[in-house]
Amino acid sequence: CGSDNSCYGPTNTVEHVRHVKRIQPGAPNARYGPKAPLEWGQLNFLHTTDSHGWLEGHLKEQNYGADWGDFATFSRRMKQSARDMDVDLLLVDTGDLHDGNGLSDVTKVDGTKSMPIFKEIEYDLLTIGNHELYMSEVSYEMFNVWAKKWGERYVTSNVKVLNRTSGKYEYVGATHRYFKTEKGLRVMAFGVLFDFSGNSNASQVIKAQDMIKEPWFTQALATSEPIDVFILLGHNPVSQKDPQTTFKVVFNEIRKHHPATPIQILGGHSHVRDFAVYDDSSVALESGRYCETLGWLSMSGFSSSNSGFSGPENPKGVANPTRPARPGAKSPFVYSRRYLDWNRQTFIYHTKQTDKTFDQAAGLRTTGEITKVRQELKLGQVFGCAPQMWCISCVAFDDPSNIFPGVIVPAVSTIVVNKAREHKSRIIIGNTKGVRFDIHKGPFTYDDNFIVSYYRDIFFYIPDVPYALAKTVLPRLNKPSLAMRDDDLATMPNLRDSCTDPSLGYLTRREMRQNHGVVRRQEAVTSGYVTTDDWGTDGDDTTHTKIPDYQLPRYWQAQANWPKGKDPEFVDLIFYDFLQKSILTYLGANYTAAMVECYIDCNFSSQDFLLPYVKLMWQKNIDDCPIES
Ligand SMILES: Nc1ccn([C@@H]2O[C@H](COP(=O)(O)O)[C@@H](O)[C@H]2O)c(=O)n1
Ligand SMILES: [Zn+2]
Ligand SMILES: [Zn+2]
């Protein structure tokens, strides 16, 4: 390809893939939105995970358009319904609260503005994600502020943070929590992060294999107190096929001591909707990512004969869970699971409200707070008008409508230039996982910069690498047998600066919706998640048509300032700091860390090239740029 990436040719749009259909009020056969009321059991869970700062909800995707205020109202109303039915409902979150959205990420320390909003939900149990451990300052905040606030409800069984006063590493939250629910179920909870090793030195992650040997853990399992149910929450994939999950290690250990007690697992990290059966009395739920999904899990079967629990039975007047964990299960417990789309229509339906009656003061206050913070942080500032949609995986990697050839490669080729070396040919390499979200046709805002590029990885380089060697790096990185796991690598210091241009206009959440005729209240959709899990395909609360999901290579490459008709002899090899170790490995022994320098400066990062590119390339129609879902 040429330096302008012209080999990709003209682009097609992919809007059809995410086409949103609205319910016509009163239209016959309108079959969108939730399919049936939830099944309420004796013990019920609402589960969030991997919210990554998306408390505003999805401004450009109406099917995930509720905000944290709407969720605050929903969770309060659901708690009230549980009380009215004389059953328990537990609210659980399994971490990754930052990195993914301007609301959490434009402040100097991630979460400064988003965490006071996140805390509006009165969770019963929470645990820590890996994104709370990349930046030391964030880990200290979790330890010093939020863990103190959440107290015993924050269960972080294998994560310690440095107490800067004592100089010792201490558990962030509680190692475990033994408690009684409102209705009297006796619960033992553990919160287990996968064996994460990319944390800063402000924290320590104890491998699950070692955690189960800790005295506090063995004592918790040997307790003489009655346990009706174990809750194993964790920032940890629920699929037993996922190479990162460590749930099974902890599950097996519990089972050695408690062979028949139900173990309810709530997981995260892999950003998927999933439900897995562990055994006859144990099922696991994972509830997606980015405030797109709210997970529902319910169970019944507790009685004086199996656990000594003498509390209320199945609630009356509603559907109840009926399904054993697996066919022929020798267990009294039955379950239901559902993946709820994160929108007001869903919330209104399941609380039997109308759009007029749903809201409560606390939720509206939270919505108001989000609007205020977004204005303060200028998140609605429009930098350009994206002429089409580019997605990460809804089309093939080499399709012009794929975000890598369509935006990332031309953007880095154009913007990532060190003036003193612009005459040099250059190769730029990045990891595809560093790009986190599709670009929608329409206004590209300051917020979108953080949504698309959610890590702050600095551009490093090695000058004058023979092209014959440099060209071998990408294929070697992408070769599965050789590829190193980039998440095992040490992380770099996080250096933030801001990139704003006050001369551009601002859009608030309300303006984005009103100015462009996008209605505030949620309507139905057709495309979205189509989930297959251990129970089959009936878990999605709203039925969708599937969005294609193509496999990506692990790394992308751009090349710029190429000589006409031939290859250069030498290139500047530019890459994210995060990839230094793997790049050096593949360059061989003649290349060392001492040869690596910051390319533009030691602040210029993966969050600094999109906005200048957008300002350069997408100015057409900027004053009349419609939002399209
Ligand atoms: N500085 C970093 C750190 C990690 N990555 C990539 O993100 C992946 C981790 O995924 P999460 O769901 O925890 O966000 C990791 O495998 C890396 O590929 C990165 O790009 N920059
Ligand atoms: Zn995550
Ligand atoms: Zn994670």
Nearest ligand, CA 193: 3
| Cβ–Cβ under 8 Å, residues 236 and 246 | yes
Report the alpha-carbon distance of residue 577 to residue 186 in Å, rounded.
48
Report the alpha-carbon distance of residue 51 to residue 65 in Å, rounded.
14
Best of 436, 455, 488 to mutate for ligand 1, by most ligand atoms within 8 A of CB? 455
- Which amino acid, one-letter code, is at 205? V
| Cβ–Cβ under 8 Å, residues 295 and 285 | yes
- Which amino acid, one-letter code, is at 166? S
Asked whether 275 lines ligand 1 (CB < 6 A), one says no
| Cβ–Cβ under 8 Å, residues 126 and 140 | no
Model confidence at 299, pLDDT cuts 50, 70, 90, reads very high
pLDDT of amino acid 95: 98
Q: Would 6-12+378-457+498-522+546-569+602-624 and 33-371 be classified into the same CATH topology?
A: no
Alpha-carbon 473 to chain mean position: 30
Give mean pLDDT, residues 159-188: 97
pLDDT tens by residue, 585-628: 999 999 999 999 999 999 999 999 999 999 999 999 999 998 76
Å from CA of 96 to ligand 3 middle: 6
Asked whether 555 lines ligand 1 (CB < 6 A), one says no
Asked whether 487 lines ligand 1 (CB < 6 A), one says yes
pLDDT tens by residue, 118-132: 999 999 999 999 999
Asked whether 586 lines ligand 1 (CB < 6 A), one says no
Å from CA of 229 to ligand 1 middle: 34
Give mean pLDDT, residues 14-31: 30
Asked whether 54 lines ligand 1 (CB < 6 A), one says no
Report the alpha-carbon distance of residue 298 to residue 415 in Å, rounded.
51
Asked whether 199 lines ligand 1 (CB < 6 A), one says no
**Could you tell me which of 296, 285, 347, 268 has the C-alpha nearest to residue 97?**
268
Closest-lying ligand 1 atom to the alpha carbon of residue 198: 3
Report the alpha-carbon distance of residue 55 to residue 68 in Å, rounded.
5
Inform me whether the pLDDT recorded for 31 exceeds 70.
Answer: no
Å from CA of 623 to ligand 1 middle: 36
Domain regions of the chain by residue span: 6-12+378-457+498-522+546-569+602-624, 33-371
Asked whether 572 lines ligand 1 (CB < 6 A), one says no
Predicted ipTM of the assembly: 0.94
Distances (CA, A) of 495 to 23, 96, 381, 606: 46, 20, 22, 11
pLDDT of amino acid 574: 98
Which two three-digit tokens encode residue 153?
Answer: 């409800």
pLDDT of amino acid 489: 43
Report the alpha-carbon distance of residue 54 to residue 32 in Å, rounded.
24
Inform me whether the pLDDT recorded for 455 exceeds 80.
Answer: yes
> 316-348 burial, b for 16+ CB within 10 Å, e for fewer?
eeeebbebbbeeebebbbbbbbbbbbbbbbbbb
Inform me whether the pLDDT recorded for 25 exceeds 70.
Answer: no
Please, where are the H alpha helices in 310-445? Answer: 344-350, 361-376, 403, 409-415
Lowest mean pLDDT among 181-190, 258-267, 381-390, 505-514: 505-514
Asked whether 554 lines ligand 1 (CB < 6 A), one says no
Which two three-digit tokens encode residue 541?
Answer: 């609360």
pLDDT of amino acid 220: 98
Asked whether 130 lines ligand 1 (CB < 6 A), one says yes
Q: What is the distance in angstroms between the CA of the first residue and the CA of the last residue of the chain?
A: 32
- Which residues are found with C-beta within 5 Å of the ion, ligand 3? 96, 129-130, 269
Inform me whether the pLDDT recorded for 26 exceeds 70.
Answer: no
Model confidence at 329, pLDDT cuts 50, 70, 90, reads very high
pLDDT of amino acid 41: 98
Asked whether 406 lines ligand 1 (CB < 6 A), one says no
pLDDT of amino acid 628: 62
Other beta carbons less than 10 A from residue 6's beta carbon: 9
Å from CA of 62 to ligand 2 middle: 21
Residue 589 has phi, psi (to 5 degrees) of -65, -25
Residue 139 has phi, psi (to 5 degrees) of -60, -40
Lowest mean pLDDT among 191-195, 308-312, 430-434: 308-312
Asked whether 486 lines ligand 1 (CB < 6 A), one says yes
pLDDT of amino acid 366: 98
Counting every residue written for the chain, the total comes to 629
Report the alpha-carbon distance of residue 232 to residue 217 in Å, rounded.
13
Closest-lying ligand 1 atom to the alpha carbon of residue 491: 1
| Cβ–Cβ under 8 Å, residues 521 and 66 | no
Asked whether 491 lines ligand 1 (CB < 6 A), one says yes
Asked whether 100 lines ligand 1 (CB < 6 A), one says no
Q: What pairing do the DSSP bridges indicate for beta strands 323-324 and 176-180? A: unpaired
For atom 19 of ligand 1, which residue has the closest CA? 434
Å from CA of 7 to ligand 3 middle: 36
| Cβ–Cβ under 8 Å, residues 146 and 126 | no
**CA-atom Rg of the chain in angstroms:** 25
Report the alpha-carbon distance of residue 38 to residue 18 in Å, rounded.
27
Å from CA of 284 to ligand 3 middle: 17
pLDDT of amino acid 562: 98
CATH class of the structural domain 6-12+378-457+498-522+546-569+602-624: alpha beta
Best of 205, 289, 431 to mutate for ligand 1, by most ligand atoms within 8 A of CB? 431
pLDDT of amino acid 16: 24
Å from CA of 203 to ligand 1 middle: 17
Lowest mean pLDDT among 4-8, 327-331, 390-394, 533-537: 4-8
Nearest ligand, CA 194: 3
Supply the angle between the helices 247-257 and 215-222 in degrees, to the nearest 10: 40
For atom 17 of ligand 1, which residue has the closest CA? 487
Fold of 33-371: Purple Acid Phosphatase; chain A, domain 2 (3.60.21)
Asked whether 242 lines ligand 1 (CB < 6 A), one says no
Closest-lying ligand 1 atom to the alpha carbon of residue 577: 1
**Could you tell me which of 222, 216, 274, 227 has the C-alpha nearest to residue 247?**
274
Å from CA of 405 to ligand 3 middle: 26
Å from CA of 246 to ligand 2 middle: 16
Asked whether 154 lines ligand 1 (CB < 6 A), one says no
For atom 4 of ligand 1, which residue has the closest CA? 487
pLDDT tens by residue, 357-369: 999 999 999 999 9
pLDDT tens by residue, 75-116: 999 999 999 999 999 999 999 999 999 999 999 999 999 999
Å from CA of 434 to ligand 1 middle: 6
Nearest ligand, CA 52: 2
Distances (CA, A) of 224 to 74, 157, 178, 257, 474: 38, 20, 12, 12, 57
Other beta carbons less than 10 A from residue 472's beta carbon: 13
Å from CA of 94 to ligand 3 middle: 9
* 3 state SS of 48: strand
| Cβ–Cβ under 8 Å, residues 438 and 389 | yes
CA triplet 365, 371, 373: central angle to 5 degrees?
A: 100
Lowest mean pLDDT among 284-298, 401-415, 514-528, 569-583: 514-528
**What's the pTM?**
0.90
- How is residue 257 annotated by DSSP? H
Å from CA of 374 to ligand 2 middle: 22
Inform me whether the pLDDT recorded for 444 exceeds 70.
Answer: yes
Provide the percentage of residues in the chain whose pLDDT is more than 90: 85
pLDDT of amino acid 531: 97
Which two three-digit tokens encode residue 555?
Answer: 């790394």
Closest-lying ligand 1 atom to the alpha carbon of residue 457: 1
Best of 54, 452, 486, 582 to mutate for ligand 1, by most ligand atoms within 8 A of CB? 486
Model confidence at 39, pLDDT cuts 50, 70, 90, reads very high
Inform me whether the pLDDT recorded for 373 exceeds 70.
Answer: yes
Asked whether 457 lines ligand 1 (CB < 6 A), one says yes
Asked whether 431 lines ligand 1 (CB < 6 A), one says yes
